[in-house]
Amino acid sequence: MRAVLDTNVFVSATLIKEGTEDRVVRAWRAGRFDLVVSPPILEEIGRAMLYEKLAKRRWMTRDDVSSLIRMLARSAALVDGTTSVTVCRDSDDDKFLAAALEGKARWVVSGDKDLLAVEQYMTVAVVRPTQFLRALSEAEPAS
C-alpha cells in the first residue's frame, strides 16, 4: 500500500504523542505502508517541522525531528515532482496529489480541509488520518 502524507500529518505527529497522526507516521516507520514524497513535499515538511513557534509545543526534540526528516529523505519513495496537477482550492496542495499520481499511491492522508474537499482525484483517495488507519487495519491479514 502506498500513500502520501500531507505536511500537517507530520507536524501534528510531533505535537501529539500517540495521537492519530503519530500513529500514521509510526505505521510508516514500521513498514506497514510505503510513503511517497517529492522534492517540494520534502522541502515543505523540513521547513514546517523546524518552525520555532512549534518547538515549545512538540514532544519531539529538535534532534528527533531532524532524524525523522533524514529518514524521510532516505527511506520514502522519492518521485520527481514534475507532474502538474491543478485541482485543489489551495494550489499549494496540488503537489500532494501530483506525488500520489507519480508514485502510484492510492492515498493522500491529510487534515487540510481544502485538500480533503477533493475526496477523490483519478485513482487517489484523499482521506483523514483516522480513515487511513482503518484502511491499513483492513488491509492487514488476520493473525
CA dihedral (41, 102, 20, 71) positive or negative: negative
CATH number at residue 13: 3.40.50.1010
**Rounded mean pLDDT, 120-128:** 96
Model confidence at 91: pLDDT above 90: no
If one counts the domains in the chain, the total is 1
Domain extent, residue 47, equals: 2-139
This prediction's pTM: 0.88
Q: What is the mean pLDDT of residues 65-80?
A: 84
Stretch 55-73: mean pLDDT: 74
What does the pLDDT read at residue 142? 47
Q: Which residue has the higher pLDDT, 98 or 66?
A: 98
- Residue closest to 99 by CA, chosen among 120, 78, 76, 118: 78
